[in-house]
Amino acid sequence: MLKTQLKNSKEYQPGLSIDCVIFGFDDNQLKVLLIKTGYDDSWSLPGGFISIDEDIDTAAVSVLQARTGLMGIFLRQFATFGTVGRNQNHFSSDSLAYFGIPPEEEKWYKSRFVTIGYYALVNFSKAIPRIDNPSETVQWVDHHKVPALILDHRAILDRALETLRTELSLMPVGYNLLPEKFTIPDLQKLYETILGRKLDRRNFLRKITAIGILTKLDEKKSNVAHKAPNLYCFDKNKYEEVLKNGLTQGW
């Protein structure tokens, strides 16, 4: 997204950008989508500028779709980042030249930018990382193994994860992170991975069942060594109702 946007500065809102923390869950790992440009080995969060005639939320949805190919998934604005000089020296003359930016445009990109942070929860199996140009690398990374990031992107990622952990007590998660059919242990592992700690099995089952968002299926998980656990799915209508009204319990 960066390369196409950097050629049209007059079409974008000065001093304002978006950065998205896109979470996925696979193999009992919480993953985050990262980008590396062809200019150097630096990694970053997906993001971009905001068109003058575009709503901010719409711009965030566009970033999400451009990088995953998905629409209609959970996306939440969580914080704004605007420390003085946060992007100072980020766009060097050499880097702008690499992206084809003429010298008369440099001042626009070297000015101070405030960025709005969004986090998204996506189905890992359905989200296909997409590049914006052939020199880019876009890939999922275990959130415990995130490399050094540009600017304040590490702080943005940490705040997103902190927000997600806090909001587990206010809303359900899992609909966009788990497969359509899953077991209670699968769901518990997701919560434990996000929270970074173990949960009591019986208490978790009691609390998650009391929310009323699960439907027990007449199926069991196949290809397991021991007693096959039951499969469940989310009741989408009840799930969305709880999202709207919120929860009053903690984990």
CA 250 from centroid of its chain's CA atoms: 23
Over residues 1-10, mean pLDDT = 55
Sorting pLDDT into bands at 50, 70 and 90, what band is 32?
very high
Over residues 79-108, mean pLDDT = 80
Cα separation of 195 and 230, whole Å? 24
Cα separation of 99 and 103, whole Å? 12
Cα separation of 99 and 101, whole Å? 6
Residues 181 and 219: beta-carbon distance below 8 Å: yes
Bridge partners (DSSP) listed for residue 116: 18, 80
More confident residue, 110 or 242: 242
Sorting pLDDT into bands at 50, 70 and 90, what band is 94?
confident
Written as one string, the DSSP assignment of 13-27 is EEEEEEEEEEEEEET
Q: Is the pTM of this model over 0.95?
A: no
Cα separation of 173 and 188, whole Å? 11
Angle at 64 between CA 15 and CA 53, to 5 degrees: 45
Show Cβ contacts of residue 25 under 8 Å, excluding neighbours closer than 6 positions. Answer: 31, 124, 177, 178, 190, 193
Percent of the chain with pLDDT over 90: 69
Q: What's the pLDDT at 75? A: 92
Cα separation of 140 and 118, whole Å? 17
Bridge partners (DSSP) listed for residue 149: 43
Over residues 124-149, mean pLDDT = 91
Sorting pLDDT into bands at 50, 70 and 90, what band is 195?
very high
With CA atoms as reference, report the closest residue to 49 among 93, 96, 108.
108
Cα separation of 173 and 207, whole Å? 13
Pairing of strands 12-26, 114-121: parallel
Cα separation of 168 and 170, whole Å? 5
Average pLDDT value for the chain:
89
Domains plus CATH for the chain? 2-167 (3.90.79.10), 184-245 (1.10.10.10)
Sorting pLDDT into bands at 50, 70 and 90, what band is 88?
low
Annotate 45-65 with b (16+ C-beta within 10 A) or e (fewer): bbbbbbeeebeeeebbbbbbe
Q: Which amino acid is at 165?
A: R
Show Cβ contacts of residue 173 under 8 Å, excluding neighbours closer than 6 positions. Answer: 121, 164, 167, 190, 191, 194
